[in-house]
Amino acid sequence: MASTSSLTADAVIDKERMDSFHAHLSKSTRVLSLLGAGLSATSGLPTFRGAGGLWRTHDSISLATPEAFDANPGLVWQFYSYRRHMAMQAQPNAAHYALAELSRKMPGFMTLSQNVDGLSQRADHPREQLQLLHGTLFEVRCMDRDVCRYGPEANFTDPICPALAIPTGADPTSNEARKGISEYLHTKHQGKDLDISDAAVPLPDLAPEDLPICPQCKKHLLRPGVVWFGESLPSEVLQTVDDFINQPEKIDIIIVIGTSAKVYPAAGYIEEARDKGARVCVVNMDENDRPSGGWEEGDWFFKGDAAQIVPRLLEPVIGQVKVPKEAKAQGSH
């Protein structure tokens, strides 16, 4: 591995290593980026990885399957409604804005995102240069793909239906309080969103009729427009990515941000880019998150917060990234 660096609040990236990346970026015309959940960590969104991957008492992966939806659509919708709500409360961070600006400055830049949180889109990342490998929380479609072809359709309504509203601290005189729900829920958090990812916060059991129904067939449930485990990635997205990679011109760099790059087919794009001449740059908090094929001479690794590092990496092309005030406030938590 050619370059290793770390960045904290009071540290500086090694100048020689950063200069090496800048020199290569400045003469590059075709660049890929592969994004993972670590990109949005500074925006306050959970990554649902490893030991922190539980939602209430459930492994988050176990909720992200068609079988889970069939068995308990109410629970799965509560999980995704929570994620929609959290994503809408969050703001894009400086890395989202930097990548969006690079797209405008470099026509040969393509971003492949595994994120479903919508933050890249809200940072005005040009849509034709952003391929959503796993879909998005903010599209919905009919569960019945054999008969009803509704969706995917954009939907930013929060909550998407009344039964999925995030509960707030209850009135101490309510029936729930009299039934003995913790005073913690009624006083400290009264009037505030409760953290329903905490299993101590009571959630109702929802029946199918409580959940969003397809407006077209008016029969089947709507489902989130994300790719669940066991499902195929969107064919049009895969085709667009393949077309970009298979162009005759070489790829100069692939920048891998906030992802372990172990899930295929996304992880395979790193080696495909290498085969087209790309050098690999990884930005991650975890030193163990390395390309599946290992490091090669000329690669870069920058350890630290993507929101701090990515704007610095791209500065020779984009200049100083401009972040709206509300995004700065969110990122300062």
Q: Is 134 a catalytic residue?
A: yes
Spatial separation of the C-alpha atoms in residues 260 and 37, rounded to whole Å:
9
| DSSP type of residue 263 | S
161 is in an annotated binding site: no
Q: Looking at the chain, list the stretches that DSSP marks H as alpha helix, in order from N- to C-terminal side.
A: 15-26, 60-63, 66-71, 73-89, 94-105, 119-122, 175-178, 183-186, 235-245, 268-275, 306-318, 325-331
148 is in an annotated binding site: yes
The SS3 assignment for 59 reads: strand
Q: At which residue do the structure tokens 């595994």 appear?
A: 114
Question: Apex CA 149: angle with CA 230 and CA 125, to 5°?
Answer: 70
Q: At which residue do the structure tokens 């729900």 appear?
A: 181
Which amino acid, one-letter code, is at 84?
R
Confirm if 303 and 281 have CB atoms less than 8 A apart: no
Phi-psi map region of 311: left, alpha, beta (phi>0 left; psi -120 to 50 alpha):
alpha
Confirm if 43 and 55 have CB atoms less than 8 A apart: no
Q: At which residue do the structure tokens 């659509």 appear?
A: 73
Strands 58-59 and 54-55, sheet pairing: antiparallel
Which residue is catalytic, options 85, 96, 125, 134? Answer: 134
The size of the chain, in residues, is 333
Order the strands of the 153-154 sheet from edge to edge: 153-154, 135-142, 222-226
Q: At what angle do helices 15-26 and 306-318 cross, to 10 degrees?
A: 50
Catalytic residue numbers? 134
Annotated binding residues for Zn(2+), written as ranges, equal: 142, 148, 214, 217
Annotated binding residues, written as ranges, equal: 142, 148, 214, 217
